[in-house]
């Protein structure tokens, strides 16, 4: 409850970040976080601000309300239900292109239609697997699983449009951002 109260008191003008844990994604988030802190801007991020036993879904919904949301898009991000939930939350709260500040990593293959379709196929596969597994058990007490099916369906339905928006933005390369110590990103935010 303590973190929920601090989230409720946060100014929606804060900068949030949505990313997949681990690997290159987390490495660049750590660098970006330090660069922003050097400019006296604290990025709201889960590992620092969620806290033990914090409500993950509520935190992700709060990210979706942010006035400025940095998206670190990677292969893992595009295949993560938590990351895609955050992306959908941002999109649902309007002014999507004005509020997002994407940084697209090399492994996120969003620039060709055939590659974007593969992410849609991934979510269709997840949806079919969960649906098939649910048919093998009693329909009683299936709370939570139905919500996952709805989420996978929503991701599959919205991913083509959202990935098309992301591929159309000049996000610069991660190396260019690193070379400038994230100045362009900072100035844009």
pLDDT tens track for 98-120:
999 999 999 999 999 999 999 99
Please state, in angstroms and rounded to a whole number, the distance separating the CA atoms of residues 54 and 145: 21
Report the share of the chain in percent with pLDDT over 70: 93
Please state, in angstroms and rounded to a whole number, the distance separating the CA atoms of residues 97 and 112: 20
**DSSP state string for 3-39:** HHHHHHHS-TTSEEEE--SSHHHHHHHHHHHHHHHHT
| pLDDT on residue 1 | 40
In the sheet with 15-18, reading across from the earlier edge strand, the strands are 43-44, 15-18, 68-73, 100-104
Mean pLDDT across the stretch 28-48? 90
| pLDDT on residue 101 | 96
Indicate the average pLDDT of the chain. Answer: 87
Give the gyration radius of the chain's Cα atoms. 17
| pLDDT on residue 111 | 94
Q: Residue 63 in contact with residue 69, Cβ under 8 Å?
A: yes
Per DSSP, 52 falls in state: T
Lowest mean pLDDT among 39-53, 125-139, 175-189: 39-53
pLDDT higher than threshold 60 for residue 5: no
| pLDDT on residue 13 | 53
Mean pLDDT across the stretch 8-25? 76
pLDDT higher than threshold 90 for residue 126: yes
**3 vs 171 pLDDT, higher one:** 171
pLDDT higher than threshold 90 for residue 145: no
- Kindly indicate the confidence band of residue 144, based on its pLDDT and cuts at 50, 70 and 90: confident
């Amino acid at each position: 409850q303590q973190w929920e109260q601090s989230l409720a008191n946060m100014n929606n003008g804060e900068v949030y970040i949505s990313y997949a844990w681990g690997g290159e994604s987390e490495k660049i988030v750590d660098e970006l976080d330090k660069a922003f802190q050097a400019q006296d801007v604290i990025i709201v991020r889960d590992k620092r601000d969620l806290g033990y036993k914090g409500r993950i879904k509520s935190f992700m919904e709060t990210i979706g309300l942010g006035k400025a949301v940095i998206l670190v898009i990677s292969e893992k991000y595009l295949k993560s239900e938590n990351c895609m939930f955050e992306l959908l939350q941002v999109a649902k709260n309007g002014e999507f292109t004005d509020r997002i500040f994407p940084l697209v990593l090399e492994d996120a293959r969003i620039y060709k239609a055939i590659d974007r379709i593969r992410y849609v196929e991934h979510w269709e596969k997840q949806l079919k697997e969960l649906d098939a597994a649910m048919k093998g058990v009693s329909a009683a007490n299936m709370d939570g699983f139905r919500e996952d099916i709805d989420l996978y369906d929503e991701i599959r339905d919205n991913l083509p449009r959202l990935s098309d928006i992301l591929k159309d933005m000049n996000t610069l390369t991660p190396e260019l951002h690193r070379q400038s110590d994230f100045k362009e990103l900072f100035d844009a935010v």
